[in-house]
Amino acid sequence: MASSEGKAIMGRNIKRLIKQREITAARLAEIVGVSTATISDWSNGKTYPRIDKIEAMADYFGVSKSDLVEDPDKVSTAVATDEPVLMAAHWGLDISGLPDEDRHRVIDRAKAYIEGLIADYEDRNAK
């Protein structure tokens, strides 16, 4: 899925949760620590929240982080951690449509790549 679709999914989920909780976007903005315009941008699929803001919303709404970033109509019934979906969401990607095995493979490769970059950085700066 394209990142624009991921933004749209997140937006629909935020709107649904705001409506269920019967709060305003302004109230959610206060809770999360952003402007009302930022909540509007997220709700309308224009921008994507950072991980810390996803976590704050999940805590407030009492849902898992994946409940914010995944399409509820396409969520697998298999139990899995939120980590792969959240890592991809942090980069503006939506991998929730991938089968669990493929999703984890993508994240494992990304982790290995980043760990390699960190090791290279540490080696260069260890002098």
Q: Report the C-alpha gap between 59 and 42 in whole angstroms.
A: 17
Q: 10, 38, 12, 13: which is closest to 25 by C-alpha?
A: 38
Q: 54, 10, 20: which is closest to 34 by C-alpha?
A: 54
92 shares a domain with 49: no
Q: How many CA atoms lie within 13 A of 34 on its CB side?
A: 20
Annotate 15-75 with three-state secondary structure: HHHHHHHCCCHHHHHHHHCCCHHHHHHHHCCCCCCCHHHHHHHHHHHCCCHHHHHCCCCCC
pLDDT tens per residue, range 79-104:
445 666 666 666 667 777 778 778 77
97 shares a domain with 36: no
Q: 45, 55, 37, 35: which is closest to 13 by C-alpha?
A: 45
Domains held by the chain: number: 2
Amino acid at site 108: D
Domain that holds residue 36: 4-75
Q: Report the C-alpha gap between 68 and 53 in whole angstroms.
A: 11
114 shares a domain with 93: yes
Amino acid at site 28: L
71 shares a domain with 112: no
pLDDT tens per residue, range 35-71:
999 999 999 999 888 888 988 999 999 998 888 888 8
Higher-scoring residue by pLDDT: 122, 3: 122
pTM for this predicted structure: 0.59
50 shares a domain with 30: yes
71 shares a domain with 19: yes
68 shares a domain with 22: yes
63 shares a domain with 21: yes
